[in-house]
Chain A
């Protein structure tokens, strides 16, 4: 028998420190597989955020740097400008990218920086213990929206993929989910396409990954997958929002 599924080379052997059932591990694997597929591990520089995935530097077997909360796209800009032949990616959560780092992501996208952004949207702050994120759904209960997110005072969840795809400088944007194998296969294609966009020098690419946070949602991993499909996907539709062909 031949091994048909194994740990990608671009992941270290270190076991993930994420909670049981957390989708970060799946997203990490898909990123690592894309680096393996393009054979770019040795020229990749990854930027990890502040949040649960601050430890991504341990798990990716390539050069890594940890950015301040929200600043990963600016750090990635500095890296890519000074090492234009490298492959640069950021890995950011929703608090990091869509709240404290809104300016950095919008302008990196608008400049058309030739980097790849993996945006993990799990509708909550994980590491700080379950506070409201900019992507928390209306009515969703969190530590800081204890009576449910009220759009009158807390606004509506931000649709990052849609918002950024209005920018002319953006080459590739898609939204995927990881709650079942069919979605995971599509996510793998999307992440690969995002890196391909960068490898081909076509400009800014971003994949928004709908993910679960069983711990802070207060659900089992299986229930969390169901919650994601029933609640997040209707509000955050999956699909490609911009592809490189559209770049003029």
Chain B
């Protein structure tokens, strides 16, 4: 307790997952997250009542997660952008079947095979569903290795609580970065019983079955409504964000993950030049922190969204602002990380 360990982001996720009780990992190697797959192999293959499988594909890996999740255990998979695209079919099934699991996406530059450097261009895919049908993942966006650890642990609780897949949406930078982390003791929370749906063999009860389909459209619509209700509850109860310097800001930046880290330095540098910048950093990308953005837009009339994409989260910020003020955008893509000076120069454009 209290001990700080220097760990690489990808490996820290693995350790956090194991400490959160995850014993079943299914994955496929892809840069820049392969260290996580290797870490899980090293640990889980030596543990009792645990399993690690290097699957034949991302598609197989997510379907192994589907199978394991169906038995009620804590399970996860991880990948990076192109691999996450392959998993979408399985994720849609898991969301429809209302099973808990954790999926890590250490994003890289896209589209296509893209690059192996960091990116944030999977925001739409992560937050709007990604696969077919009306569903959402709970999407958590860490911006430090410590937060990666904390959110990974939270992810398993959220998945169990809402019987919904949770995505940790990081990027290549945060996965590869080494920082000191602490694995804090967590408060025990009460979570819903899995007995009523888990496939464990029907001894002493009626059979359980998990079928993510219904050929009766009215029944299928009911399934949709039921799932949608959880999303509304998430919007009420689970929104998380960090704010800095909102009160007297000349301009508000909205950014998440790696970019938000850079913005924090930009804020310090700008201060030296007498420029006051505020930051809203969504930690949950779904549910999205639209209320704080809306409230802030009533006080401050300059917004800039910075992403490692060509404009994805900015759409949600615009929806939250709802036309009250102008929302500007700056982004770099393909694996390029925006520098502090280029962001500050961009900010200055709007303060003239």
Contacts and interface: CB of A to CB of B under 8 A. Distances in A.
Interface hub of A60, A66, A74, A83 (most chain B Cβ within 10 A) = A74
Interface residues of B, number: 38
Contacts of B24: 78, 81-82
A173 interface: no
A76 to B, nearest CB: 6
Interface of B: 24, 26, 51, 53, 55-57, 59-61, 63-71, 73, 75, 89-90, 93, 97, 199-204, 207-213
Nearest to A42: B203
B55 A64 contact: no
Contacts of B208: 63-64
B201 A78 contact: no
B213 A65 contact: no
Contact of A47 (B61, B67, B69): B67
Given A57-B211, A81-B51, A82-B68, A44 B201 contact: yes
Contact of A43 (B55, B90, B203): B203
Interface string A46-83: 01000000100100111111111001001111111111
A66 B63 contact: no
B71 to A, nearest CB: 5
B267 to A, nearest CB: 45
B207 A64 contact: yes
Contacts of A57: 209, 211
Contact of B63 (A45, A75, A81, A82): A75
Interface string A9-25: 00000000000000000
B60 A74 contact: yes
**Majority SS of interface residues in chain B?**
mixed
A83 B66 contact: no
Given A66-B212, A74-B64, A79 B202 contact: no
A1 B200 CA distance: 39
A68 B207 contact: no
Contacts, number: 131
What 6 A-B pairs come out closest when comparing CB atoms? A78-B67, A74-B63, A78-B64, A81-B51, A107-B56, A78-B68
Contacts of A41: 202
A47 B90 CA distance: 15
B68 A81 contact: yes
Contacts of A75: 63-64, 66-67, 70
A104 B75 contact: no
8 contacts: A65-B66, A65-B210, A66-B213, A68-B89, A75-B66, A77-B67, A79-B67, A86-B201
Nearest to A47: B67
Interface hub of A42, A57, A78 (most chain B Cβ within 10 A) = A78
Contacts of B97: 65
Interface in A95-124: 103-104, 106-107, 111
Interface of A: 41-45, 47, 54, 57, 60-68, 71, 74-83, 86, 103-104, 106-107, 111
B51 A82 contact: yes
A122 B302 CA distance: 65
Given A74-B63, A78-B69, 14 more contacts: A45-B71, A47-B67, A65-B210, A66-B209, A74-B60, A78-B68, A78-B71, A79-B71, A81-B51, A81-B64, A83-B71, A83-B201, A86-B200, A111-B53
B202 A42 contact: yes
A47 B210 CA distance: 10
A78 B203 contact: no
B56 A104 contact: yes
A45 B201 contact: yes
B67 A82 contact: yes
B141 to A, nearest CB: 27
A17 B22 CA distance: 40
A223 to B, nearest CB: 30
Contacts of A68: 63, 89-90, 93
Nearest to B210: A65
Nearest to A57: B209
Contacts of B211: 57, 64-66
Contacts of B90: 68, 71
Given A42-B203, A45-B201, A64-B209, A82 B71 contact: yes
B70 A79 contact: yes
Contacts of B55: 74, 107
Interface hub of B66, B75, B203 (most chain A Cβ within 10 A) = B66
B63 A79 contact: no
Given A54-B213, A79-B70, A82-B73, A62 B64 contact: no
Nearest to B73: A82
Contacts of A62: 201-202, 207
